Amino acid sequence: MKENAWSVLVKLTQEGQLSALKQQLASSDAALAVNGKHFGSSGDTLLHYAARHGHLQVMEFLIKEIGMDIEVYNSDYKRPLHEAASMSQIACVVYLLNNGAKVDCLKKADWTPLMMACTRRSPEVIQELLSQGADPFFKNKDGWNCFHIACREGDPLVVQHLLQVAPCVWKTESKILRTPLHTAAMHGCEEVVNILLQRCGYISESADSCGVTPFMDAVRNGHIAVGKMLLEMHGEGHTGTIATLLSLGADLHVKDKKGRSALHMASIGQHADAARTLLQLGLGDSEDASGTTARQLAKKPDILGVFEQEQD
C-alpha cells in the first residue's frame, strides 16, 4: 500500500469512521497488510488508535474481522489496554478485559494499565481494572505503585477508592524512599494530603534517601498551605528543617495564593522557634492578601514575645 493510503487508514480509525474503514480493508491483501502494520516512531497499530480514541466498534472490527492481536504492543510496549486505560475509555477497557486482555500487562518502565488509569481522574476505569484482578501493589522500575501516581494527580475520590479496596496500599516507598505523602505534598494536593494524614500511618518527618521530608517538599515548591497542614498534624517545621530547606534552595520569601508567607504559617501554628528562625534569616513580616500580618496571627505568649523582641 502507498504511504497516503496508510495515512487514510489511520485518519479513519482515529475518527471512528467504521464503514469507510471497512471499505478500505475490503480486500484480503489489505487486511493482511494492516494486521502487522506499525505506524511512525511510536509503533502504534490501528488497534492502538481505536482504543486511545474510544472507538469500540472499530476496535471490535479490527480484532474480530481483521484478526489483530489484542496484546499487540507498540515501541513503548503499550498494549491497547494501556491506551484505553490512560485515556479513560471505559467501554474499550471493559471490552478488552472481557476478551482476554491481560489486566497487568507491562509497558516500558513496568507501568500497568492501572497505573496509566491513575494518571487520569477516571474512577470508573480504575474500579473496572481492580474488579478484574489488577494488582494495586505492583511497582514499576522506580518503585512507584498506583497509589503514588494517584497521589500525584490529586483526585481525592481515586485515592479514597484505592484505600478502600487495598487499605495497606499506602505502605509503600519508591527506590529512593519517597512515600505517596512526599508525592502529594510536592505537587500541592491539599485534599489528598489531608486524607493521607487522617487515614494512613505516616511517621512524622519521614525522609527520603536525600533527607527530604514531605514538609520540605511542600514548602520548597511553594505549597505553603500543605506545609501548614503537615506542621499542624505532624509537628514538622522546626528550625533544623527550615535551615535544611534553605540549603536546598528553597525560596525564603515564597507565598501561597492567599499571600501568606512561611512566617504567617508559623504564627498560625503558634510555633515560636520556627518564627524566630525565619525572622533571623531575614524574612520580614508582611501583609497577606487580606491585609493580615503574621504578628496579628500570633496568640500565645512565647510567639508574641518573638515579634516583640524583633521590634526591639
In a domain, 50, yes or no: yes
In a domain, 6, yes or no: yes
In a domain, 91, yes or no: yes
CATH of residue 59: 1.25.40.20
Whether pLDDT at 205 is above 80: no
In a domain, 179, yes or no: no
Instruction: Find the angle CA(249)-CA(252)-CA(258) to the nearest 5 degrees.
Output: 125
Contact 206, 181 (CB under 8 A): yes
Report the domain count for the chain.
1
- Which one is predicted more confidently, 246 or 73? 73
Total residues belonging to the chain: 312
Whether pLDDT at 72 is above 90: yes
Question: Exposed, middle or buried, 113 (CB in 10 Å: 0-12/13-18/19+)?
Answer: buried
pTM of the model: 0.78
Q: What's the pLDDT at 274? A: 78
| Domain enclosing residue 12, as ranges | 1-116
In a domain, 209, yes or no: no
Q: What's the pLDDT at 279? A: 85
In a domain, 259, yes or no: no
User: Which range is most confident: 131-140, 253-262, 282-291?
Assistant: 131-140
Where residue 255 falls among pLDDT bands split at 50, 70, 90? confident
DSSP state of 110: G
**For the segment 266-285, what is each residue's pLDDT rounded down to a tens digit?**
888 788 877 887 888 788 89
CA pseudo-torsion sign 103, 107, 109, 115: negative
Q: What is the dihedral of CA 135, 196, 241, 254, to 10 degrees?
A: 110
Question: In whole angstroms, what is the distance from residue 232 CA to residue 235 CA?
Answer: 6
In a domain, 202, yes or no: no
Contact 131, 165 (CB under 8 A): no
**For the segment 177-201, what is each residue's pLDDT rounded down to a tens digit?**
999 999 999 999 999 999 999 999 8
- Which one is predicted more confidently, 193 or 253? 193
Place of cell 514499576: 140
Beta carbons within 10 angstroms of residue 157's beta carbon: 12
Q: What's the pLDDT at 253? A: 79
Question: In whole angstroms, what is the distance from residue 290 CA to residue 260 CA?
Answer: 9
In a domain, 18, yes or no: yes
Q: What is the mean pLDDT of residues 70-92?
A: 98
Close Cβ partners of 307 (under 8 Å, ≥ 6 residues apart):
275, 279, 285, 294, 295, 298
Where residue 237 falls among pLDDT bands split at 50, 70, 90? very low
Q: What's the pLDDT at 199? A: 94
